[in-house]
Amino acid sequence: MTTKYPEIPKKTFADYGQMLHGFWPNKPTFTEKDYPEFEGKVIIVTGGNTGVGYETVKSLAGSTKAKIYIFSRNEEKTLKAIKDIELEVAKEYKLKPNPIGFIQTDLSDLTTIKPAVEKFLNKESRLDLIIHNAGVMTPPTGSKSKQGYELQLGTNVLGPFLLQRLLDPIFIKTAKTNPPGVSRIVWVASTAHQVAPKGGIFWEDKNFENIPISSTIRMQIYGQSKAADILLAKAWTRHHPNVKDDVISTSVCPGYLKTELSRHSSWFESFILNRVTWPRRFGAYTELYAAFSPDVKDGDYSISFGVPAHTREDLNSVESGDKLWNWCEKETDPYV
């Protein structure tokens, strides 16, 4: 029997140019000076206790008056991160930020997400912005989520999809009270989507269990999870037509950054990455450009550090997006 490998579409010159942009990105121009006050509004940042998420929360805490919640797995690590953020904000921004909330959940275990949302709903009656920042990249071969999915597919795709699905009622209710475009969903993807299987998902073997895993295949598996985030970003408003004029659902590649996301890389990969990546704070500028810039429209994709960009052409397919959406709904139905 012949082993079936995923088909990877050929890249255009524009695709290659965009991939190179990450090594020599533009200087951020949309920064804290441009963010709205967001007073009285509520923001969720997943994975806000480390890496780009940490910097995003810090920037929000220092430059807006919003109430911020970190959704993350490790309570001890997150509570320490919140204390560190508060100290850094006081030093850098010369102010005392609003208290930062913590909700414990593990995106790699779908059973933990509904209790987390219920805890949030007991505390808040609105939700204006959610940044799906948490994720995992190239874990050890064979890593699985609690429900048995390939770990990146489970953590980067199904976890955020279920979280958003459960938050949709309060998010949509809030969106109807906001001016158009204020309520936003930011799905953190990656330029790695360029090496994802055609259509985003390798449906013949989405958990990559039947082919030998090489370094190239490892990146394709990661790219699959990030292509899926782009497809979901483009599909969200299509599946919520009652608020299609009110909500912006958008995706980003934060940039090539020095974060814990690459902790599973080999020593050689880490050696190279440390020489071609940028401080993680710059990634926060990409995420918050998507969250606040008036230039961002529904379905857009942005790259480092706040630059409009394009996704691979096949990821604009409504058919591919709806196929993934329907699969995610079916897989998460038992946990709603």
Q: What CATH number is given to the structural domain containing 204? A: 3.40.50.720
7, part of any domain: no
Of 79-88, 157-166, 278-287, 323-332, which gets the smallest average pLDDT? Answer: 278-287
Stretch 22-36: mean pLDDT, rounded?
94
Q: Is 226 a catalytic residue?
A: yes
Q: Which of 54, 149, 222, 289 is catalytic?
A: 222
In the predicted model, is pLDDT for residue 269 greater than 60? Answer: no
In the predicted model, is pLDDT for residue 196 greater than 90? Answer: yes
8, part of any domain: no
4, part of any domain: no
In the predicted model, is pLDDT for residue 37 greater than 90? Answer: yes
In the three-class reduction of DSSP (H, G, I as helix; E, B as strand; rest coil), residue 37 is classed as coil
Stretch 224-241: mean pLDDT, rounded?
98
Q: Specify the number of domains making up the chain.
A: 1
Q: Which of 147, 152, 169, 320 is nearest to 230 (CA)?
A: 320
Q: Determine how many CB atoms are found less than 10 A away from the CB of residue 80.
A: 12
Q: Which of 41, 206, 226, 234 is catalytic?
A: 226
Q: Is 234 a catalytic residue?
A: no
Domain that holds residue 328: 13-335
In the predicted model, is pLDDT for residue 210 greater than 60? Answer: yes
- pLDDT, residue 277, reads 81
Residues 83-108: pLDDT tens digits?
Answer: 999 999 999 999 999 999 999 999 99
